[in-house]
C-alpha cells in the first residue's frame, strides 16, 4: 500500500488567484473597503450629510409656499430674487451631492465602472470649491432678507430654517473641499 | 631656480565656504530666489495684487464719505451695516496681505528670521480660506444694497467700484488659497 501516489501538495486553497475578475468578487470589495476605509467612509458620510442638508434646506423653503399663494396672503420665496438664488443653489448642491453619493457607492460595489478615478477627483475638487463659494454667497444674501421680513409670516420661519441649513451645508461642503483638495494634491505630487 | 617651491594648489577660489554667514550673503539669497522662483514669485505677485485691490476697495468706499457727510446730504457707507461689513472685511484682508508681502520679502532677504516656514504655511492656509469665504460673502451682501441705492449719489459710484474691486480681490485670494493648500499638502505628505 506504500506505492500509492501521495496526494498532490497543490491543494485548491493554494491555487494561484485567477487574473480575470471572478463572479465572487464581493470579498475583494470588502477588503478594499477596509483598507481604504477611513478616508472613503468620511467622504461618504460628508456626502450623505450634504444630501440631507441641501434637501431639507430646499424643502423648507418650498413647502409652505404653494398653499399660501393659493390663498394669496403670504408672499412666496420666488417673489424674492435673493431667496430664489438660495433655493437654486441648494437644488444644485443637492444634485451634486446625489451624484457624489451614487459615485461613492458605485466605487465600493465595483470599482472604475462609473467614472475613472482621475476625472472624478478633478470634478470633485472643482465642484466642491464652486459649491462652497456659492453656498456662502447665497446664505449671506438671504440673511438681510430675513431681517427685513415680517416675523409672523410662515415664509419667515421657512427662510430662517433654510438659511440655517444652508450654513450647515456650507460647513459640510467646505470640509469636503479640503478632503478633495488633499486627494488632488496627492495625485499631482505622486 | 628649479628649487623654488611650487605655488600651493589651494587657491582662494578653492577654499571651503565658511559655515558662518558671510556679510556678502546677497549671492546666496539670489541663488535661492532663482531656485524657488516660479512658486515664490507667483505668491508674491498675488499678495501684491491683493494688497492693491483691498486698499483701493476700502479707499473707494471711504473716500467720498466724509466730505459729503459734513454737508449732510449724501448717505455714508457706515450708515449701512452691509457696506460696513464689506469695508471691514476689505481692511482685514489689506492687513493680511501686507503681512504676507512683508513675510515674503523677509524670506527672500534672510530666511527664517521672521517666522518659521511650517507655522507660516499653516497660517497662510487657514487665513486664505477664511479671507476667501469672507470676501465672497461681503461682496454678495453688498450687491443688493447697490441695486436699491439712488444711482445719482456719489456713494453709489463708490460702492460699485468697491464691490468690483472686492470681487477681483476674491479671485486673487481664491488663487492664493489654492497655492497655499498645495504647499500644506506637500508638507503633510512628505
User: From CA B133, how far away is CA B140, in angstroms rounded?
Assistant: 11
CB of B149 within 8 Å of a chain A CB? The answer is: no
Mean pLDDT computed over A167-182: 94
With a cut of 70, say whether residue A16 has pLDDT above it: no
CB of B180 within 8 Å of a chain A CB? The answer is: no
Q: Which residue of A has its CA nearest to B134?
A: A136
Mean pLDDT computed over A170-190: 90
**Distances A11 to A7, A20, A28 between C-alpha atoms, Å:** 9, 20, 21
Query: Nearest CA to A60 among A151, A132, A165?
Result: A165
CB-CB neighbours of A95 under 10 Å:
12
pTM for the full model?
Answer: 0.77
- Lowest mean pLDDT segment, chosen from A3-12, A130-139, A150-159, B29-38: A3-12
Per the CB < 8 Å rule, is A182 touching B174?
A: no
Q: What is the pLDDT along chain B (190 residues), one digit of tens a residue?
A: 444 444 444 444 444 444 444 444 444 444 444 556 678 888 999 999 999 999 999 999 888 755 544 555 567 887 889 999 999 999 999 999 999 999 888 888 876 566 788 888 999 999 999 999 999 999 999 999 999 888 888 888 899 999 999 999 999 999 999 999 999 988 888 7
Residue for grid cell 499631482:
A188
- Interface confidence, given as ipTM, is 0.76
Q: Which of B131, B137, B182 has the most A C-beta neighbours within 10 Å, making it the best mutation to test the interface with A?
A: B137
pLDDT at B180: 93
Query: Nearest CA to A154 among A32, A47, A45, A70?
Result: A70
**Mean pLDDT, chain A, integer:** 79
Chain B residues with beta carbon closer than 8 angstroms to that of A174: 129, 133
CB of A189 within 8 Å of a chain B CB? The answer is: yes
3-state DSSP call for residue A48? helix
Query: Which of B82, B182, B186 minimises the CB distance to A144?
Result: B82
Nearest CA to CA, how far is A91 from chain B (Å)?
Answer: 19
User: From CA B43, how far away is CA B80, in angstroms rounded?
Assistant: 35
Percent of chain A with pLDDT over 90: 45
Percent of chain A with pLDDT over 70: 73
pLDDT at B15: 44
CB of B143 within 8 Å of a chain A CB? The answer is: yes
Mean pLDDT computed over A91-99: 95
pLDDT greater at residue A103 or residue B115:
A103
Query: Nearest CA to A134 among A122, A145, A144, A142?
Result: A142
With a cut of 70, say whether residue A182 has pLDDT above it: yes
Amino acid at each position: 500500500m506504500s506505492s500509492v501516489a501521495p496526494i498532490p501538495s497543490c491543494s485548491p486553497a493554494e491555487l494561484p488567484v485567477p487574473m480575470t475578475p471572478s463572479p465572487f468578487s464581493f470579498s475583494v470589495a470588502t477588503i478594499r473597503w477596509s483598507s481604504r476605509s477611513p478616508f472613503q467612509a468620511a467622504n461618504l458620510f460628508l456626502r450623505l450629510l450634504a444630501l440631507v442638508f441641501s434637501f431639507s434646506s430646499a424643502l423648507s423653503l418650498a413647502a409652505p409656499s404653494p398653499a399660501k399663494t393659493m390663498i394669496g396672503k403670504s408672499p412666496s420665496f420666488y417673489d424674492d430674487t435673493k431667496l430664489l438664488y438660495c433655493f437654486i443653489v441648494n437644488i444644485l448642491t443637492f444634485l451634486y451631492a446625489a451624484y457624489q453619493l451614487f459615485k461613492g457607492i458605485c466605487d465600493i460595489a465595483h470599482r472604475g465602472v462609473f467614472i475613472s478615478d482621475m476625472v472624478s477627483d478633478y470634478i470633485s475638487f472643482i465642484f466642491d470649491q464652486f459649491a462652497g463659494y456659492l453656498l456662502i454667497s447665497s446664505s449671506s444674501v438671504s440673511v438681510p432678507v430675513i431681517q427685513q421680513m415680517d416675523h409672523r409670516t410662515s415664509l419667515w420661519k421657512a427662510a430662517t430654517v433654510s438659511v440655517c441649513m444652508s450654513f450647515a451645508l456650507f460647513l459640510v461642503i467646505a470640509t469636503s473641499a479640503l478632503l478633495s483638495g488633499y486627494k488632488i494634491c496627492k495625485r499631482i505630487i505622486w
